[in-house]
């Protein structure tokens, strides 16, 4: 990403949502984007430095998480199930299944000397979500670098809830923007184009409210410790 990263999310200004597309519900500053480091969540584990500096570990972590969380679909062939589970495929699974032991993720962490279980890792990260509603879903989107993707602003739901992102850097010891989604701090919930809770596509409003000014766009910085 060649855009300048926003180093201090807390100081970024709040965009006043136009009255024509907003609800009467102001958004709490507690729901604005913030960065949390792996070493903040797991102090003295060494996970933050390892994650930032070792691409092999990051790849094995993704693989083991998929093995733990993907449920074999009996209606699909073995080859198709393996394709769905592979790192080249976008994956949508449930992270908080009560019967999941996270065995493979635990083994990967242990292999690299991290004294955490897979449950410690996944359930702690998932526990950062929540609020008005919690879906329990984990989505890993891949392959978008193989095709041109048009930039489009959207509001996930409008509900008072948090989405958690675990950012995987493009290279070891990376520092910069482009790992996390860009964002805008909203003053109010944007009115739904359907029922409340649906994804809102900003560019589909008619009439179009106008481009969001550059000074309100937040581009979170990825670096060790965040």
d(CA 14, CA 12): 7
Please say whether the beta carbons of 121 and 103 come within 8 A. no
> What would you measure as the largest C-alpha separation in the chain, in angstroms?
56
The model's pTM: 0.88
Distances (CA, A) of 135 to 78, 80, 164, 182: 28, 26, 12, 22
pLDDT for 148 equals: 55
Per-residue tens of pLDDT for the chain, all 226 residues? 457 899 899 999 999 999 999 998 899 888 899 999 999 999 999 999 999 999 999 999 999 999 999 999 999 999 999 999 999 999 999 999 889 999 999 999 999 999 999 999 999 999 998 777 667 889 998 865 555 555 678 887 777 778 899 999 999 999 999 899 999 999 999 988 888 878 888 998 989 999 999 999 999 999 987 6
Q: How many CB atoms are closer than 10 A to CB 189? A: 21
pLDDT for 209 equals: 92
* Burial of 2: CB neighbours in 10 Å, binned 0-12, 13-18, 19+: exposed
pLDDT for 164 equals: 92
Kindly give the pairing relationship between strand 161-162 and strand 137-140. unpaired
| Spatial CA neighbour of 180 closest among 134, 217, 212, 126 | 217
Residue written as token pair 């584990």: 45
pLDDT for 77 equals: 96
d(CA 208, CA 222): 32
pLDDT for 1 equals: 45
Percentages (nearest 5) of helix, strand, coil residues in the chain: 30, 15, 55
pLDDT for 149 equals: 54
Q: What is the SS3 assignment for 165?
A: coil
């Amino acid at each position: 990403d060649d855009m300048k990263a926003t180093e201090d999310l807390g100081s970024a200004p709040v965009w006043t949502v136009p009255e024509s597309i907003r609800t009467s519900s102001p958004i709490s500053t507690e729901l604005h984007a913030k960065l949390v480091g792996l070493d903040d969540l797991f102090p003295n584990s060494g996970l933050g430095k390892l994650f930032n500096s070792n691409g092999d570990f990051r790849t094995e972590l993704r693989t083991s998480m998929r093995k733990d969380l993907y449920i074999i679909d009996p209606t699909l062939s073995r080859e198709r199930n393996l394709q769905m589970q592979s790192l080249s495929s976008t994956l949508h699974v449930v992270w908080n299944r009560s019967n999941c032991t996270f065995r493979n993720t635990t083994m990967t962490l242990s292999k690299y000397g991290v004294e955490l279980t897979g449950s410690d890792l996944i359930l702690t990260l998932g526990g950062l979500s929540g609020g008005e509603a919690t879906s329990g879903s984990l989505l890993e989107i891949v392959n978008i670098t193989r095709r041109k993707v048009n930039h489009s602003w959207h509001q996930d739901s409008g509900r008072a809830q948090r989405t958690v992102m675990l950012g995987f850097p493009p290279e070891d010891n990376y520092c910069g923007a482009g790992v996390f989604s860009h964002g805008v701090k909203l003053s109010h919930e944007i009115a739904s184009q359907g029922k409340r809770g649906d994804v809102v596509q900003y560019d589909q409003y008619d009439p179009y409210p106008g481009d969001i000014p550059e000074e309100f766009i937040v581009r979170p910085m990825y670096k060790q410790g965040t």
